[in-house]
Structure 1
Amino acid sequence: MKNWLFRIYMYLMKIGARFTKIRENKIVVLNGAGRSGSNGYLFAKYMKKNHPEYEITVVEPWPSSHLPLSTWREIGAAKFILTTHQPFKIHAKQVNIQFWHGIPLKRMGIMANNTKRKTDMRNAKLWQKNADVVCSNSDLYETLMSACCAIETTKYQKVGFPRLDALKHPALSKAQLLTALFKVQDEQAQIAIYMPTFRYEMEDEQIMAQIKAGNFFALPDFDAESLNESLKAKHQYLIVKLHPYEMQLLGMQTSHYSNIAYLNNDYLFAHDYDLYELLGNTDMLITDYSSIYFDYLILDKPIIFVTNYLRQYEQKRGLLLGPYEEVVPGICVKTQADLLAGLSAPDRKQQKRQYWLHLTNQLQHESACAAIYTLMANQY
């Protein structure tokens, strides 16, 4: 019932905004990616700094049923509508540039195990109708996206993703990041960041109970005190960035441990950062089934994969590439003991990282933001 009401609301608001005159220099970013590698938010920052002749409005969160009519009129006035999730526009004369929010690793749309055919077909039609440009950085990306969303090949433009610009040019130095999150100075420091996928969709109460109890890794032998002591002994620091739902479930905004820090969206919003503006000065990524690891490849730094719920995740939603343990360019761990061993071991996966980097990023230009601006200015 709520879905139907929301769709009616969206339809009525689109009608109300349709009579607004389009302004040639107006850009609206519909940001559904928050501050976790948001191409839309980062592109808006670039445009405000480098092209003040354009009028930029960032609408977030998106979609929302709480937007005032004035915001809808801003959307209706935009020549360019940039989206991080479903393609959207009000007028046929508007140009929708689809950024999306990651290279797909998890199955989605018509490829997923946990979606409905009717919904998948409706979403595929939205891509066909509303997406004018789909930003890309590789043939592999286009193949994976089209497999999931039935996108025509003519819509793709290999211009890259703004989030990778931020990853290559961090807003904070490593020392500043260490001071901001851990309140320490340590010239020997190694900073790891843990970013899992949204685990709630596995619908496993046991996993959620472990996270609520403080076991953010959901590992069978988790011991936070032991983990912290091991990190401390090796001058290692762990940033934990969970999905907002899991952070709320955890119930703690600050860590009680010297070498473990929680990074939440409140901090990012308060300091006007996107996560990717900090990520470049970390030394190691720990993840599970999140596609963030594809982006992290450009840094050529170690990646550890937590795979204790791999089979369950494959059954519930599914992955686009496999076998998983053979595909991923890093060691796979299922226990805290394995994780600690991985944090201590020298990295031997550089060649595999480079292999996957060449498959997932064929672009050589310095700035995706500049390439996207050029596309907008010259072709539209």
Structure 2
Amino acid sequence: MKSVLFGWYIRFLKLCAFFVPIRSNSFVILNGAGRSGSNGYLFYKYLRKEHPELNVTLVEPWPSSHLKWSVWKKIGGAQYIFTTHQPFKIKRKQISFSLWHGIPLKRMGFMAYNTKYHTNKHNMNIWQHQADYIASSSDIYETLMASCVGIDTNKFIRTGFPRLDFLNKPISKRIILKDLFDSDNEKAKIGIYMPTFRYELEDKTIMNQIESGNFFAFDDFDIVALNSTLVENNQYLIVKLHPYEMKLVSAEMKQASNIAFLNNNYLNENDIDLYELLGITDFLMTDFSSIFFDYLLLNRPIIFVSNFLKQYSKARGLLMSPYENIVPGQQVLNQKELQIILKNIDKDPYKERRNKLCTIFFEKDKNCCQSIYELTKRVN
């Protein structure tokens, strides 16, 4: 019932905003990606810094039923609208740019095992009619997105993604160590663990493990032993869970000296995005998250936590397989294996493989924000 009412709410506000006149060179960014690698938010930061003469509005969270009419007027009067998820615009004359939020590894849309055809068909129609331009990094990205969502290939523009520009513009490592770990260890190596959304596996056991503080959902999880391994190797681990999972983790499990949970509050309060922090990390741990593709550009060690590979392959499916031939890093199924790899993180045999994958997924990975801005001038 709530979704139906929300749909009518959006239709009503779109109708009202339709009569707002379009203002030249007005930009609205509808950010539905929070601060976790948001192309929308980082493009907004670029515009504010490099083009202060522009009229730019950041709308977040999006979509929302709590937006003021003044915000809807800006959306209705925007010449350019940028989105991080589904494309959106109110008038045909508006120009809609889709920045999306990652190169997909897991199946989605038409390709997923756990979606419905009529929903996918509805979403395809939205993309066809609402998206004018879709940021792309490579041929393979366009192939994957077109397969999943049914996008017309002539909508893709090889601009790259705004967040890629910020991988090489990181904030201070010293500040992160102090803020998150209260440490000034000059030998520190920082890793980050970013799993995908595990709630969709519909397995209560996994959620119960996470709620108990077992953020890996390992059967042999031992936070004391894990923290000891990190201390021995001058390693610090940032844990960035999906917001839903983050709410489950009990406060008493956040006290390990070399393990810190990163939530959106810290990012919001400091006006930074995760990708402005990612560049200071020395290694990544993930499972099936698209973040590993972007991390290829840093060419640093990646550890793949694959304890739920069978479940994901069955419930949703992967776009590329076999998994072990795609991922450029060591796989772990339990904490014992993870601790061994952490002790030998510098022995990294995957550099060449990461470089090769990087050339496949990123034909465009620099000056992405500038490329998108210049595109707006050409289609004016």
TM-score by length of 1: 0.98
Q: Distance in 2 between matches of 1:100 and 1:124?
A: 14
Larger mean CA deviation between 342-351 and 114-123 belongs to: 342-351
Q: Distance in 1 between matches of 2:375 and 2:153?
A: 17
Indicate conservation of the 8 Å contact 1:254/1:262, yes or no.
no
Instruction: Please give the per-residue CA displacement for 1:94-151, whole angstroms capped at 9, x wherever unaligned.
Output: 0000000000111111111111111100000000001000000100100000000111
Instruction: Please give the per-residue CA displacement for 1:190-249, whole angstroms capped at 9, x wherever unaligned.
Output: 110000001001010000000000100101100000000110011000000000111101
Deviation at residue 254 of structure 1 after TM alignment: 8.0
Instruction: Please name the residue that 1:358 is paired with.
Output: 359
Instruction: Please name the residue that 2:236 is paired with.
Output: 237
User: Residue 254 of structure 2 aligns to a residue in which SS?
Assistant: coil
Instruction: Please name the residue that 2:349 is paired with.
Output: 348
Map residues 190-209 of structure 1 onto 2, 5 A cutoff.
190-209=189-208
Q: Distance in 1 between matches of 2:130 and 2:315?
A: 30
Map residues 13-32 of structure 1 onto 2, 5 A cutoff.
13-32=13-32
Q: Distance in 1 between matches of 2:143 and 2:250?
A: 40
Q: Which runs of 5+ in 2 are unaligned?
A: none
Q: Distance in 1 between matches of 2:304 and 2:131?
A: 34
Q: Distance in 2 between matches of 1:322 and 1:32?
A: 29
Instruction: Please name the residue that 1:88 is paired with.
Output: 88
Q: Distance in 1 between matches of 2:260 and 2:128?
A: 43
Distance 1:30 1:253, change over 3 A: farther
Deviation at residue 314 of structure 1 after TM alignment: 1.0
Instruction: Please name the residue that 1:61 is paired with.
Output: 61
Map residues 3-152 of structure 1 onto 2, 5 A cutoff.
3-152=3-152
Q: Distance in 2 between matches of 1:154 and 1:263?
A: 39
- Percent of aligned pairs sharing the same letter: 54
Instruction: Please name the residue that 1:322 is paired with.
Output: 321
Deviation at residue 188 of structure 1 after TM alignment: 1.3
User: Residue 320 of structure 1 aligns to a residue in which SS?
Assistant: coil
Number of aligned residue pairs: 378
Q: Distance in 1 between matches of 2:95 and 2:379?
A: 11
Instruction: Please name the residue that 1:304 is paired with.
Output: 303
Instruction: Please name the residue that 2:174 is paired with.
Output: 175
TM-score by length of 2: 0.98
User: Residue 339 of structure 1 aligns to a residue in which SS?
Assistant: helix
Q: Distance in 2 between matches of 1:17 and 1:295?
A: 37
Please report the RMSD computed on the Cα atoms of aligned residues, expressed in angstroms.
Answer: 1.1
One-letter identity of the residue aligned with 1:347 = D
Q: Which runs of 5+ in 1 are unaligned?
A: none
Larger mean CA deviation between 11-20 and 58-67 belongs to: 58-67
